[in-house]
Structure 1
Amino acid sequence: MQKIVLLLASLAIPFGLVQAQAPTQHANTRFEQLGPLLPTPNTFRTASGAPGKDYFQNRADYDIKATLDDAKQHITGSETIIYHNNSGDALPYLWLQLDQNLFRPNADGNTTETNSINTQRGMTAEQLDPSSVLKGKDYGHKITAVRDQAGKALRYTINQTMMRIDLPQPVGPGKSVTFSIDWNFNIVDAKATHARSGYEYFPKDGNYVYEIAQWFPRLCSYNDVTGWQNKQFLGQGEFTLIFGNYKLALTVPNDHIVGATGELQNPTQVLTPTQIKRWNEARGKGDKPGENPTLIVTQAEAEAAEKAKPTGTKTWVFKADNVRDFAFSSSRKFIWDALNPNVEGKRVWAMSLYPKEANPLWGQYSTRLVAHTLRSYSRRTIAYPYPVAYSVHGAVGGMEYPMMCFNGARPEEDGTYSEGTKNFLILVVIHEVGHNFFPMIVNSDERQWSWMDEGLNSFLEGVTCLEWDANFPARGIQPQSIVSYMRLDSTQQVPIMSSSDNILPNTFGPNAYDKPATALNILRETIMGRELFDYAFKEYARRWAFKSPEPADFFRTMEDASGVDLDFFWKGWFYGVQPVDQTLVKVDWFQAGSQNPEIAKAQARAAAQKRANTISKQRDAASKDQTVVAQDTTMKDFYNSYDPYAVTADDKKRYQDYLATLTPEERQLAEAGTNFYTLSLKNKGGIPMPVIVRMEFEDGTDSVARFPAEIWRFNDVAINKVIATSKKVKQWTLDPFYEIADINTEDNSFPPVAQPTRFQLFKQQQRGGGAAPNPMQQQRQQSPAKQGTGRN
């Protein structure tokens, strides 16, 4: 740290008042408005980010009858659809999605998947040919009939995962059209195909768990942005859907338990009197901490059902209003538990369905997590509007649908589990239940913009996890957790604002989930503050609940409702791939020289004595009495006793004359002895972010100074900033709380702080040790007398 002491008399401005740094000429458009990057506001979508007066969305109402064949893993169904055209356009044809066609080996999603041969180790058939797992059966939707309301066949064309129905005459603005479709398909093995829905087979008892979604022909979206959103389903970009009312009559083996989107309409026909009694006992439960869910189907009852044979079928009827999709789950293996908590003044069913293989973990946590998530998300968005939310366990690791989600995390066979398994269950249930809000209510276009549901939901998931347990490792929203991704070469990244199917598969998680979630957390904690962010985020959810927002609607609403210009942030975090990397190059110390002779001459004396205390002077001290002057006093004169640092009457008079020329403010500054530090900063990464600097003072105290990101608006490469302190600073640190995702913190300190080498860091980690796999098993081995029976 360079110390420069300036005398006040040498300053052009009294007491070193700081002159503003002149902007350095540098091409800097980072703080210009997004401008042409966003679509022009119009009467459909306004400049404020709110829906415009002409905003519209079409809808489709479904009446579905389906049968699940448990022996063949096959579904047969028929549906009657009423399509409502609320647009101003006449539509000569309708586009529907046939998502099961993805499981045909020749589907684009399979034939465009790239792979290579690894010559260093053996390869599986699936690695050589990813579609090999689909060759056992004839998968995909089989359309057997498409008819109009009068029963007359309609012409249709199937293009991969899309089907166009040609109408005899266009459905005009404000009009509706009714038609029906019959179809069937073979259900895929969810574990083998890594699919978002399917079955899981349990060889020990010979039974199946079905988690069924993307299972019926469903309407594409037609809107003011894309017209028909009929991009092919390639497997990565999820679903773009429209709202409607649903009724499902599902026929299954009579020993199955079924959960589905919506409310059960015929409980007395499908549930036993005991199950109905337990259902009624569960009403109103879930408001007290630690309150246990009510078991509607116990583990013992589920295990008994596994061994019995069905004697017929039952038809379960469900109804759901104003939802964008419909899913169900069915199995004789299901344990079923429920709570009925109050969520923003309304009773909502929080329920879980899971096989015995999921216990004891699921019985302890799943339904409570559902209730917790509904409460947390409702506070930050809108009150949960639906009557129920399910969490279902099977081979699908994590997938979401209205009122229903499929989740993984399974204990070991002995009933023990690792902390990682427990944490994953907490995270995945919160995440998937949270999807009820994004995109099931705030209905974004998943086929185009994965981040609009995954990123926003991952952010709320992190906040909700921390409300569940303050010590939960909610790494998905912590800035330092995204650093490794942002360090990647730019060729290994794409902007968040990339179409879902064009995001590199190996970076899809960081790009669509973690980076936008981290960005929102940084907005909330560092850029905007919690109060402004929370209000604006809630306003976005309120504006676009049961509507279909685009990215510009989110960006504009966040600025409109908060009064914070965030265009620089959207450009850096969402439209670019540059990282955050600030550097504290150096700190120069300036101190106004005091004109008070009592202070100035004392400081000069101390400095002279320090300079004179050389090593030679120290060694000669023993023989100083042997010098000529010491032994012959006649060699002394006036200067041998003269003290140049003594304060004289003339010194005091000049000082008083000087003080008389000052204003009260200048006099206070002159007597305070203020320290001025010039920080030289560089933005090596590219994204301009706030400058946060911690000052550690010589007296052991510290302080943090914060400067908004606009500090870089004149020069986004290098700036200087003067900070005045009354106390001397011994250590400066940039980003002391790791809140801006700086990819290199080793150059954030001045004076530089020594960092351990890679070898030292490795040794430290080794000495620290690591947690043994599944400590619950270790504990049982150490205390065999306390062992339980495994699952309960």
Structure 2
Amino acid sequence: MKKVYLAISCFFLIGSAAHAQYDNNPGSNHGNKFEQLGTMISDPNMYRSASGAPGPKYWQQRADYEINASLNDDKQRLDGTETITYFNNSPDPLTYLWLQLDENQHRKDSQGSTAGESKMQDKMSLRQLQMIMGNNLDLGDHILSVKDANGNPIPYTINETMMRLELPKTLKPGEKFKFKVAWFYNISDRLTIGGRGGYEYFPEDKNYLYTMAQWYPRMAVYSDFQGWQNKQFIGSGEFALVFGNFKVNLDVPADHVVGATGLCQNYSQTLSAAQLKRWNQAQTSKEPVEIITLAEVKDRMKGHAQARKTWVYEAENVRDFAWVSSRRIVWDGMSTQIEGGKKVMAMSYYSPEAYPLYRRYSTKVVAHTLKVYSQHTFPYPYPSAISVEASNGMEYPMICFNYGRTEKDGTYSEATKNGMIGVITHEVGHNFFPMIVNSDERQWTWMDEGLNTFCQFLAEQDWDNNFPSQRGPAYKIVDYMKLPKNELEPIMTNSENIARFGPNAYAKPATALNILRETVMGRKLFDYAFKTYAQRWAFKHPTPADFFRTMEDASAVDLDWFWRGWFYGTDPVDISLDSVKLYTLDTKNPQINARYDKEQFDHNLQHISAQRNREEGTRFAVEADTSLKDFYSKFDRFAATPLTQESYQAMYNALSPEERSFYESKNYFYQLTLSNKGGLVMPVIIEWTYTDGTKEVDRISAYVWRKNEQKIDKVFAKTKEVKSIRLDPYRETADIDEDNNSWPRTLTPSRFELFKQQNLPRGATAGANPMQQQSIKKQP
């Protein structure tokens, strides 16, 4: 650190008027990162306003479903018929409709099966080999017929996972069209074929667990901003769907238990008297009640009923419908009260393998998630929320599939427990994003996964202050953001084009939102704006522009620079503290200045040549010949004289009272030189540690970079001497290089270890299981 005296001057520096700034200023050190988004987002119109709210002529389509489905537990096949009533609320006449046939992804010749990369490795799992070899299974949707309400055939064309219906006449604005589809498909083994829906087989008791998702032909979205959303489903990009009402009849083996989207209308026909009584008890219980008990499940697993039962479910204003069916399901539930006083049934369905974890935690995690999300968005509107253990992780309205099985002895590691809590929170949270705030997942995964992962982080931290959240804290995204640019893509990238799906679509947007909340906007402004967005777009179809605009509109914070950097760019955060200079006041007092002046004078004479001459015993000329010494050989050039003292006193007497007060105070001026090595502009957070051991934190807005986006100087006035300085002390900006954040520079220790790589199933952990180890230790 360089120490410099600052001479006091009594005048003001008048700056010249700022010159005009232009967007897209290549080659310059400013005028780029802080420009408005402009044409990077769509223009506002009558459907979507400049404020980010739905416009006065906003519209969206609707589709109602009546479905009859029959599950064949012997052949693993699902047969179904459905009647769809489609409402054209758009201003456009439609001559055809698009439906999604997502099961076609499993066909051996589908784009999803053939378009992915593959390569051989030293160790290959059976599933990896099967993905390369393909399969000869008869998978995918078999459309038996498509007819109008009068039974007349409707021409249709199937293109991969999309089916186009040719309407018998133009469907005009304000009209509706009813048609029927008959279909079947062979259910795939979810653990070997992959995908979100399917079955899992348990050879020890010869039973199946069916998680039925994307199981019926579904209407595609027709919207004001893109027309038909008919991009093919090839795996990563999930679903854009239409809201509507569902009535679903599910015909299954009589000893199966079914959980589904919506409310069951006939528990009195599907449950025993004892089970129905427990169901009624659960309606008011504050603790989970086992409606289907573990003992009942173990008894059911021994046989296979030939009789059938039909479970009837109805759901209003939902975008999708999913269900679970098996004879090896424990079912518990309890009533939970969310914001606004509404009561919701929180429920869990799980196999015996998950019982020790799910019985203790699952339903309570469901209830906790609903409460926290409701506080940050809107009161949960649906009557129930279900967590199903299925060695999986996927979400649908009111029901989701998660993992969380224990070891065979009932023990589990802490990592397994925390992973289960995290995935349940995440999947239940999807009820809000995108099941209600209904973004287009096929195009913008982050609007679904990123926003939800951010809210998941809030819920996890409300669950336990020490919960080890894997996504949300800024430092967790550093390893991803420091990757080479050719391995990265902006958050605003189509789902199918993302190389590292988890970091890009889940972690980075969640981190960005947490930084917005904690560092850029502050909790109060952020929470209000985020809740405004959620409430504006509940049960509607928002786009990124609607989110960006609402966050600014409701907070009066210009965030275009933030969206540019975090969502449209790949630059990382790396702010370097390059140098520190200390300036103190030159008092002109000869008695005070004498010591400093002498130290500086002597220091300047201590060059290497003078030092080595002394070490070699050089006999200097002025010592050999004393006649060379004169007045200045004995003169004390630093001693105060009456003249210098008189000059100082005259200067001091001329000071005003304000200047004298400043003059007599002890001030230190620290000039910090900061460089933006990463490229992503961010606020500067500075922790000062003083020589007396106390600390102070200064927070500087990101706008400090607006005149120079690469390098800045900033002076800080302090009343105490500084011992050390550290940037980003709480690791809240995702700075990828903390080694250049400190003055003086500090050594960052690290460690490494040798390990043997393992391939583990989803939800399993390679970490220690102290519960199991302790159990073994106690055995005789």
TM-score by length of 1: 0.89
User: What count of residue pairs does the alignment treat as equivalent?
Assistant: 747
Summarize the alignment of residues 193-592 of structure 1 with structure 2, pairs less than 5 Å apart: 193-286=193-286, 292-344=287-339, 345-395=341-391, 397-504=392-499, 507-592=500-585
Q: Is the 8 A contact 1:15 1:670 kept in 2?
A: no
CA displacement, residues 362-410 of structure 1 (integer Å, 9 cap, x when unaligned)? 1011000000000000000010000000000113x20000000000121
Aligned-partner Cα distance in 1 for 2:455–2:346 = 19
Partner of 2:43: 40
Secondary structure of the corresponding residue to residue 739 of structure 1: coil
Aligned-partner Cα distance in 2 for 1:764–1:310 = 53
Q: Note closer, same or farther for the CA distance 1:89–1:22 as it changes in structure 2 (3 Å cut).
A: closer
Confirm or deny that 1:68 pairs with 2:71: yes
CA displacement, residues 253-312 of structure 1 (integer Å, 9 cap, x when unaligned)? 1111110000011111111111111112112233xxxxx311111111110111133141
Q: Note closer, same or farther for the CA distance 1:77–1:301 as it changes in structure 2 (3 Å cut).
A: same
Q: Note closer, same or farther for the CA distance 1:219–1:22 as it changes in structure 2 (3 Å cut).
A: closer
Q: Is the 8 A contact 2:349 2:388 kept in 1?
A: yes
Aligned-partner Cα distance in 2 for 1:666–1:21 = 29
Aligned-partner Cα distance in 1 for 2:171–2:256 = 41
- 1:528 Cα deviation (Å)? 0.7
Partner of 1:104: 107
Confirm or deny that 1:78 pairs with 2:81: yes
Give the letter aligned to residue 357 of structure 1: E
Partner of 1:3: 3
Aligned-partner Cα distance in 2 for 1:709–1:536 = 20
CA displacement, residues 212-241 of structure 1 (integer Å, 9 cap, x when unaligned)? 010000100000111000010001100010
Aligned-partner Cα distance in 1 for 2:29–2:260 = 59
CA displacement, residues 178-236 of structure 1 (integer Å, 9 cap, x when unaligned)? 11111111111111122111111111111111110100001000001110000100011
- 1:3 Cα deviation (Å)? 1.2
Q: Note closer, same or farther for the CA distance 1:85–1:771 as it changes in structure 2 (3 Å cut).
A: closer
Q: Note closer, same or farther for the CA distance 1:21–1:92 as it changes in structure 2 (3 Å cut).
A: closer
Q: Is the 8 A contact 1:372 1:468 kept in 2?
A: yes
CA displacement, residues 388-440 of structure 1 (integer Å, 9 cap, x when unaligned)? 00000113x20000000000121111111111110110000000000000000
Q: Note closer, same or farther for the CA distance 1:352–1:18 as it changes in structure 2 (3 Å cut).
A: farther
Give the letter aligned to residue 246 of structure 1: F
Aligned-partner Cα distance in 1 for 2:199–2:754 = 46
Q: Is the 8 A contact 1:284 1:347 kept in 2?
A: no
Q: Note closer, same or farther for the CA distance 1:365–1:725 as it changes in structure 2 (3 Å cut).
A: same
Q: Note closer, same or farther for the CA distance 1:18–1:527 as it changes in structure 2 (3 Å cut).
A: farther
Give the letter aligned to residue 32 of structure 1: E
Aligned-partner Cα distance in 1 for 2:640–2:539 = 81
Secondary structure of the corresponding residue to residue 182 of structure 1: strand
Aligned-partner Cα distance in 2 for 1:129–1:20 = 70
Q: Note closer, same or farther for the CA distance 1:647–1:381 as it changes in structure 2 (3 Å cut).
A: same
CA displacement, residues 752-785 of structure 1 (integer Å, 9 cap, x when unaligned)? 11334x6xx34899xxxx9962111110122227
Give the letter aligned to residue 449 of structure 2: E
- 1:17 Cα deviation (Å)? 8.9
Give the letter aligned to residue 53 of structure 1: P
- 1:546 Cα deviation (Å)? 0.3
CA displacement, residues 637-671 of structure 1 (integer Å, 9 cap, x when unaligned)? 99999987776776665445323433333222211
Aligned-partner Cα distance in 1 for 2:603–2:125 = 77
Q: Note closer, same or farther for the CA distance 1:689–1:334 as it changes in structure 2 (3 Å cut).
A: same
Give the letter aligned to residue 336 of structure 1: W
Give the letter aligned to residue 93 of structure 2: A
Q: Note closer, same or farther for the CA distance 1:100–1:612 as it changes in structure 2 (3 Å cut).
A: closer
Q: Is the 8 A contact 2:127 2:193 kept in 1?
A: no
Summarize the alignment of residues 6-155 of structure 1 with structure 2, pairs less than 5 Å apart: 6-8=6-8, 13-14=9-10, 26-118=29-121, 121=122, 123=124, 126-128=127-129, 130=131, 132=133, 134-135=135-136, 137-155=137-155
- 1:600 Cα deviation (Å)? 3.9
Secondary structure of the corresponding residue to residue 301 of structure 2: helix
Aligned-partner Cα distance in 2 for 1:477–1:333 = 36
User: More displaced, 75-84 or 728-737?
Assistant: 728-737
CA displacement, residues 700-740 of structure 1 (integer Å, 9 cap, x when unaligned)? 11211111111111111111111111111121111111111
Q: Note closer, same or farther for the CA distance 1:749–1:16 as it changes in structure 2 (3 Å cut).
A: farther
Secondary structure of the corresponding residue to residue 45 of structure 2: coil
Partner of 1:755: 748
Q: Is the 8 A contact 1:21 1:720 kept in 2?
A: no
Aligned-partner Cα distance in 2 for 1:125–1:640 = 92
CA displacement, residues 42-90 of structure 1 (integer Å, 9 cap, x when unaligned)? 1111111111011110000001111111111111111111100000011
1:678 corresponds, among 655, 671, 682, to 671
Give the letter aligned to residue 131 of structure 2: P
Secondary structure of the corresponding residue to residue 45 of structure 1: coil
Secondary structure of the corresponding residue to residue 340 of structure 1: strand
Aligned-partner Cα distance in 2 for 1:64–1:132 = 36
Secondary structure of the corresponding residue to residue 517 of structure 1: helix
Q: Is the 8 A contact 2:669 2:716 kept in 1?
A: yes
Q: Note closer, same or farther for the CA distance 1:333–1:368 as it changes in structure 2 (3 Å cut).
A: same
Moved over 3 A (4+): 14-25, 122-129, 131-134, 595-617, 637-657, 761-765
Aligned-partner Cα distance in 2 for 1:376–1:740 = 25
Aligned-partner Cα distance in 1 for 2:17–2:683 = 18
Secondary structure of the corresponding residue to residue 554 of structure 2: helix
Q: Note closer, same or farther for the CA distance 1:475–1:22 as it changes in structure 2 (3 Å cut).
A: farther
- 1:747 Cα deviation (Å)? 1.0
Q: Note closer, same or farther for the CA distance 1:568–1:612 as it changes in structure 2 (3 Å cut).
A: closer
- 1:18 Cα deviation (Å)? 12
Partner of 2:696: 703
Partner of 2:23: none
User: More displaced, 15-24 or 238-247?
Assistant: 15-24
Secondary structure of the corresponding residue to residue 497 of structure 1: coil
Confirm or deny that 1:712 pairs with 2:713: no
Aligned-partner Cα distance in 1 for 2:233–2:117 = 17
TM-score by length of 2: 0.91
- 1:176 Cα deviation (Å)? 0.4
Q: Note closer, same or farther for the CA distance 1:591–1:425 as it changes in structure 2 (3 Å cut).
A: same
Secondary structure of the corresponding residue to residue 481 of structure 1: helix
- 1:127 Cα deviation (Å)? 3.3
CA displacement, residues 451-506 of structure 1 (integer Å, 9 cap, x when unaligned)? 001000001101110110110111200111111111111111111100111111xx
Q: Note closer, same or farther for the CA distance 1:153–1:602 as it changes in structure 2 (3 Å cut).
A: same
CA displacement, residues 683-705 of structure 1 (integer Å, 9 cap, x when unaligned)? 11111111111111111112111
- 1:596 Cα deviation (Å)? 4.4
What CA RMSD, in Å, does the superposition of the two structures yield over aligned residues? 2.9
Partner of 1:626: none
Partner of 2:617: none
